[in-house]
Amino acid sequence: MSLVGVAAKRIVTCDPARITKDNPLGTIEDGVILYDQHSFSWVGPRASAGANVPIIDHGDRVITPGLVDAHTHAAWVGSRHDEYVMRMAGASYLDIAAAGGGIVASHNAVMNASEEEIEQTLAARLKRMASLGVTTCEVKSGYGLEPEGERKQLRAIARVREERDLPHVVPTFLALHALPKSAKASRDHYVLRAATTLLQEFASAKLCEFVDAYVDKNAFTVDEARLVCESAKKLGLGVRLHVGQFADVGGAELAAEVGARSVDHLENVSDKGIAALAKAGVSAVLLPTASFTLGQEPPPVERLRAAGIPMVVASDANPGTAPTESLPLAMALAVRLYGLTPAETILGATRLAAASLGLWGSVPHPRGAIAPGARADFVVWDLPHENAIVQPWGSPKTLLVLRDGVCIGR
């Protein structure tokens, strides 16, 4: 495909080369983007654009990079509306788990589904996410729990990943999420198998780029997660960790020690943990939909900001604690509940999210910003200003969503 162009009143580039104190998102007013079916070739003010490329003018609207959802459990099947009713009646996460709900309920649904069913459910979900502006989506396994279940989920994710008319998928093996019934008497063996044979199998079959573990009270310990992190690093995989959702058990320090790409949740983290994350350059992935559902206090955003830790905003899309597919909803909550500025939120759902997935920086065709050479992932919003992405809430506001220069949603 030859070059084509789009114009709009505001082009929010998120390109570090254009960001200044007064222009925190590198916005170009009355701008033009030229792109082909792969990447952006030119971005700048309309007055400097050449005259020989056809340009579609989107008038008074705003264009941003495609949204990047850096933390999802989107490969789930089934519904957990029953436990939501329990939760609203006062049951805690732990009460629900004790009644057979929670992660184990989704585990049962995954075990009873075929690979094709998981694939079709995930593809349909990603299509809806695309229509909300998402062009890249991290997807975790973690409801299989047993080797065959994890393999089934990861294979379904790999099949969906081949689809070019859906968001770009980054697969994560969530190696330690919950202990299945069958492993209650052999916890050490379960952890060791995840860290060795399973991880090796999934890495060599290219079924995952990242590994994740749930480090918390009533979940997995720092020492258990360390086994998984260390073998992931030896295999060349990146590490992301669920840390401090309910209690600070030292997960932030572990993330820093193993050079994790991201530490996610972080409602409970000490100053020492924050200092370690800052020093190691680990991104914090904030999940406001989850803490909203659970009625929790926000993470210590001011301390994270003061420490200079990149703050990513993600949906945590899952059927229990974040029953949504909407990254824009998480962005709205990040502003309303966590006190992020709209600009911090937009950067956290685009370039900073891409960076936490290893898709920005010295990689051939980065994602997450509108800049020459980057993948042509962008959203034309039916909105007059980028701040309107986080307010008003609740309805899809995209006019066009392009991944690699091709429309995947509207």
Among 103, 118, 130, 269, indicate the residue that binds ligand NIG (CB under 6 A).
Answer: 103
318 binds ligand NIG (CB under 6 A): yes
The piece of 100-108, 148-156, 204-212, 306-314 that touches ligand NIG (CB under 6 A) is: 100-108
Q: Judge contact between 13 and 40, C-beta under 8 A.
A: no
Least distance in Å: CB of 162 to ligand NIG? 26
* Interface with Fe ion, residue 212, by CB under 5 A: no
Candidate list 320, 342, 405, 409; residue touching ligand NIG; CB under 6 A: 320
Q: How many residues in the shown chain lie near Fe ion by CB under 5 A?
A: 1
| CA distances to 20, 220, 340, 352, 354 from 360, in Å | 19, 30, 22, 8, 6
Nearest approach, Cβ of 256 to ligand NIG (angstroms)? Answer: 20
| CB closer to Fe ion, 219 vs 380 | 219
Name the β-bridge partners of 286: 313
Binding mask 225-264 for ligand NIG (x = CB under 6 A): -----------------x--x-------------------
In degrees, to the nearest 5, what angle opens at C-alpha 29 toward C-alphas 9 and 7? 45
Nearer to Fe ion, 267 or 316 (CB): 316
Instruction: Give the span between the Cα atoms of 178 and 103, in whole angstroms.
Output: 7
Please check whether residue 133 is in contact with residue 66, taking contact to mean a CB–CB distance below 8 angstroms: yes
229 binds, among ligand NIG, Fe ion, none (CB under 5 to 8 A by kind): none
Task: Show the site string, 342-371: x = touches ligand NIG by CB under 6 A, - = not.
Answer: ------------------------------
Identify what 141 binds: Fe ion, ligand NIG, none; CB under 5 to 8 Å per kind.
Answer: none
Contact 135, 401 (CB under 8 A): yes
Contact between 321 and ligand NIG by CB under 6 A: the answer reads: yes
Query: Of the candidates 224, 267, 316, 325, which one interacts with Fe ion according to CB under 5 A?
Result: 316
Task: Give me the residues that bind Fe ion (CB under 5 A), please.
Answer: 316
Task: Give me the residues that bind ligand NIG (CB under 6 A), please.
Answer: 73, 102-103, 106, 214, 242, 245, 290, 316, 318-322
